[in-house]
Amino acid sequence: MLVYLIRRIAQAMLVIAVMATLVFFAVYAIGNPIDVLASPQADQIELAAISQRLGLDRPLWEQFGIFVWNALRGDLGTSFVYAEPAAKLILQRLPATFELAFTALAIAVFVGIPLGVYAGLNPDSLGGRSIMGGSILGFSLPNFWQGLMLILIFAVILGWFPAGGRGQTATVLGIESALFTLDGLKHLILPAMNLALFKMALVIRLARAGTREVALQDYVRFARAKGLSRSRIVGVHILKNILIPVVTILGLELGSMIAFAVVTETVFAYPGMGKLLIDSIGRLDRPIVVAYLMMTVVIFVVINLVVDIIYAAIDPRVRLSEVKG
C-alpha cells in the first residue's frame, strides 16, 4: 500500500512538472499579455514600464527560470491582471466550485442510479423506455443551450430560481458555504442541474447496462430462489455489482466537473474556478493559467487515488498493489 502511494505521488510530480513547462511556453506563444492588459491609451514609454513591472522584459528562459525557482519554494507566481498570488486567487474560487461540482455529482448519483436500475430491471416498460429516451437528450443537447433553457424556463418564465450568480454564504463548523443558506441553495440548483444532466445521462446508461447484465447472473437467480426479498436483491446484490464502472466514470467526470465547468459557470455567471481559467486565458494571465493546470493535475491524481480505494472497498478482489507495466 505504501509503495503504491509513493509511486503514485512520484508519477503525479512528474506529470505536474511536464504540464507546467508545456503550459508556460504555450501561453507565451499565444501572445504578449501586455497587448491585452494595457490601456489602449498607453504609449511606448508606458508599455516599456509595464513590461518591466511584470517582468516580461526579460528573456523567456530567464522568466522560466524565475518561475521554476519560485515554484520550488511554493510560490506559483503573481497574476498579471490582479497583482495577487495566483494560488490565492484560485483557492478563493475553490469553495464555490466544490459546492457546484459535489451538488451536481449528488444529483447525478441519486437520480441517475435509481433511474438506471429501474430501466435495467424493466427494459421494455414505458417507464424504462422513456428514461432511456430522456437520457439521449441529456447526452446530445449542448450544455450551453441547456443552461440557457433552464434559465429561461425556471428563472424568466416561472421565476422560481435566480438566473445566475452565487447566493449568500453562511459559516457552519468553520466552513463558509452557500450550501447552508436557502438563498445559496436556490442559486445553486439551476447551475448544478445544468452540470449534472450530462453525467446523469451517463450514469443512467451505465447503471442500466450493468443491471441487465447482473440481473441474469447465477447468484442473482440463486438469491431469488432462496426467497430473498426483491429490495434486498436489487439493493445489495445487483447494486453493489454495477457500481465499479459507475465509480470509475464518475471519478473521471468529477475531476472535469471541478476543473472545467467553464460553460456552466459562464452561462450562470457563477464565480467558480472554471470562469477564472477562461477569463485568464482570454487575458493571457500566464501565472494563473499555469498554476491552475498544475492544481488540476493534483485534483485528478487525488480523485483517482480515492477511486482506487473505493474499488477495493466495493470489490474485495481488487488489491492496491499495482503490477508493473
32: contact with another protein by CB under 8 A:
yes
Q: How far is the CB of 41 from another protein (least distance, A)?
A: 6
Q: How far is the CB of 215 from another protein (least distance, A)?
A: 42
Q: Which stretch binds another protein (CB under 8 A): 104-112, 162-170, 245-253, 300-308?
A: 162-170
Q: Which stretch binds another protein (CB under 8 A): 1-9, 205-213, 232-240, 267-275?
A: 267-275
Q: How far is the CB of 66 from another protein (least distance, A)?
A: 15
Return the DSSP state at 166.
-
Dihedral sign of CA atoms 113, 118, 124, 127 in order? negative
189: contact with another protein by CB under 8 A:
no
Site for another protein in 89-108 (CB under 8 A): 89, 92-93, 96
The CA distance from 288 to 280, in Å, is: 7
The site that binds another protein (CB under 8 A) totals a number of residues, namely 60
The CA distance from 133 to 228, in Å, is: 32
Which of 66, 81, 111, 310 touches another protein by CB under 8 A?
Answer: 81
Which of 25, 69, 110, 144 touches another protein by CB under 8 A?
Answer: 144
Q: How far is the CB of 103 from another protein (least distance, A)?
A: 17
135: contact with another protein by CB under 8 A:
no
Q: Which stretch binds another protein (CB under 8 A): 112-120, 122-130, 253-261, 282-290?
A: 282-290
Q: How far is the CB of 87 from another protein (least distance, A)?
A: 14
Which of 57, 75, 183, 279 touches another protein by CB under 8 A?
Answer: 279
The CA distance from 144 to 282, in Å, is: 19
Beta strands in 52-205 (DSSP E): 170-172, 175-177
CB of 134 closer than 8 Å to CB of 304: no
What are the cell numbers at 181? 443558506
Identity of residue 267: V
Return the DSSP state at 78.
B
The CA distance from 51 to 48, in Å, is: 5
CB atoms within 10 A of CB 9: 12
